Structure 1
Amino acid sequence: MNRPFVSDAGKGAFLYKKLIGGDRMRTMDKKEIPFTVDHVGSFLRSERLKTARENFSEGNITKEQLRVIENEEIENLIEQEKSAGLHGITDGELRRSFWHLDFLEHLNGVEGYVPEGGYNQKFHGKAAPSYNIRVTGRISFNKNHPFLEDFAFLKDKVESDESLIAKVSVPSPNMILRQELLANDGNSRIHQIYSDLSSFYHDLSQTYKEVIHAYYEKDCRYLQFDDTNWAVFSRY
């Protein structure tokens, strides 16, 4: 049986962890995982895709029409990744508005919202769009999480070539802590829901176990946890 790899990616470093013990996973005609050279998987959006998103937000096209354009742009990106010699192929996260919030807001017990103060980060002096997530109830995995369907599309387009493997990155559990403890600026309700944070940590751990198994059931064998806040929480 092929064993899945779960990797943790921080800024400037990749640490790979095995979900199940044993030797490194090898599959027929695929390169050994983890690869010597790899990438997180997020790519710049094309002008066509950015225009489509604007048209969707303004009500000029339907969600179905937007998805057709996303599919076409992802297929174009897959060909570019293959041409560059990559073996772990992602969808570029082209369906996401944020690299982390889109995934987190579709977990049970988490909602996306527009904070009055905006998102609390700036990039090269420019503020990120005003959007965030917060915990609203006991956290658990959403078995109808839309990212699973997104992965199925990617896998279908990639793994007809046995030398390639479809790869997906999701935000680590740490990112919920980051948003709740540092980014909510008075909007966090977590202490109202969890009087004892040890229960929150338990639910979060169980949720991510189910995330891993849900991707495994979709035949995903390369799942990466993306994390940018290890240094922040090392102080606590």
Structure 2
Amino acid sequence: MTAIPQGRTRRAALLSATCALVVTGAALTGCSSEDPDAGTNGVGKLAPDKIQSQTRTAARSARAVRLSGTVATSGRTYTLDMRLKEDGGTGSVTSKGATFRLLRVGEQLYLKAGADFWNHADGSDGNAAAAGKLDGKYVKVPTGDPAYKKFSGFTDMDLLLDGLLTLHGELARDGHYEQSGVRTIRITGDKGSGGTLDVSLEGKPYPLRLVRAGDAGTLRFSDWGKDFSVSEPAKGDTVDYGKQLPTS
């Protein structure tokens, strides 16, 4: 019997011990022959530009989605929790400590907020009577009103997704991750400075988490394809302001 060199035995033992360690929930690279893309939709094996293309296609084909997180735009940060579909959307928006609800049914947009929101939006504290009439009511937002342009985008699924699901700069894959128990492949733009996007490796390649470029917010996507209903609020809960809305 040929003797195994002692050095080789020590190296084998060291490798075995090292491969037993776990770093941040994942086995050390090279210690396992398991294919991280086994049993997945195969998107993780594609070039990063193909991954981005396929996730945008999947998002466009979905009937509905829930979007939550933060968006920084025009010098303000908004915290969103919206459910969106082709013909409408509903949910809450928070900015500068004020929370209001948005509801869009077809082309008609409604904004619902408390009296404090309307007082602040008016720019003074002296319009308590008007603010009281709007308190807790769904206020119709005229399509030509600046508030319509400002807030309707938060309820427009196609417009919002098209504007968000693009990374900037050179694309690259950044490994396999997990979002809410779902395996993902992460792609980056310019090593992360152009944003990062986690794409589902299970089922359709939907985007699940987006970190926007330039610290412009982080968003999570869920409930892809889960339909919901939007309907006009009751007349007793609706106010037609009749002129340009006060907005902060």
Task: Give TM-score scaled by structure 1 length.
Answer: 0.25
Give the helix-richer structure, 1 or 2.
1
Compare relative contact order (CA 8 Å, sep 6+) and give the higher one, 1 or 2: 1
Give the strand-richer structure, 1 or 2.
2
- Greater Rg over alpha carbons, structure: 2
